[in-house]
Amino acid sequence: MQETVAAQVVRPRGRTLRAIYLVLGLAFTGIGVVGVFLPLIPTTGPLLLATFCFGRSSERLHRWLTEHPRFGRFISDFEQGRGIPLRTKIVAVTAMTAAFTYTGVWALPHPVARVIVAAVAVWAIWYVLRLPTAAPAE
């Protein structure tokens, strides 16, 4: 098995900090799983955050996510700096654009809140677009 970036991270020594990372990892995993079934709830971001947290708290759960039959390849590619597939980028940017547009135009009446949502949207879309594009699966 290839060594991942998260496996190279020094895990925190304190039990409390590791427990916090574990709880966050479980919460992000839950959000990611819900996102598989509900539209406009993200999946990829929370699972990447869960992997980050598990990399600092639980080697077993980190390995479970990186070797998962459905998500493992995407997570490992991201961790190792190989990026995300083009189709995933397109779906992510489209879904973010739809969600941020709906939120900014119809759900938020306050102009300051709309500006904040627009700023977060621009940053999130920029971040996804700047990631390397992974080679197609073989």
Q: Are 132 and 81 in contact (CB under 8 A)?
A: yes
DSSP-derived 3-state class of residue 84: strand
Residues 18 and 62 both lie in one domain: yes
Q: Which amino acid is at 133?
A: T
Residues 101 and 61 both lie in one domain: no
Residues 57 and 97 both lie in one domain: no
Residues 101 and 47 both lie in one domain: no
Domains: count for the chain: 2
Q: Are 133 and 74 in contact (CB under 8 A)?
A: no
Residues 14 and 72 both lie in one domain: yes
Q: What is the pLDDT along the chain (138 residues), one digit of tens a residue?
A: 444 444 455 567 788 999 999 999 999 999 989 988 887 677 878 898 999 999 999 999 999 999 999 888 888 888 888 888 888 889 889 988 988 888 888 888 888 988 998 999 899 899 889 989 887 765
Residues 94 and 61 both lie in one domain: no
pLDDT given for residue 105 in this prediction: 84
Residues 28 and 67 both lie in one domain: yes
Classify residue 132 by burial, with Cβ atoms within 10 Å: 0-12, 13-18, 19+.
exposed
Measured CA to CA, the distance from residue 57 to residue 95 in angstroms comes to 31
Measured CA to CA, the distance from residue 40 to residue 35 in angstroms comes to 7
Residues 62 and 104 both lie in one domain: no
Residues 74 and 119 both lie in one domain: no
Integer-rounded Cα radius of gyration of the chain: 16
Residues 10 and 73 both lie in one domain: yes
For residue 39, what is the DSSP state?
A: T
* Model confidence, pTM: 0.68
Domain that holds residue 58: 6-79
In a domain, 90, yes or no: yes
In a domain, 31, yes or no: yes
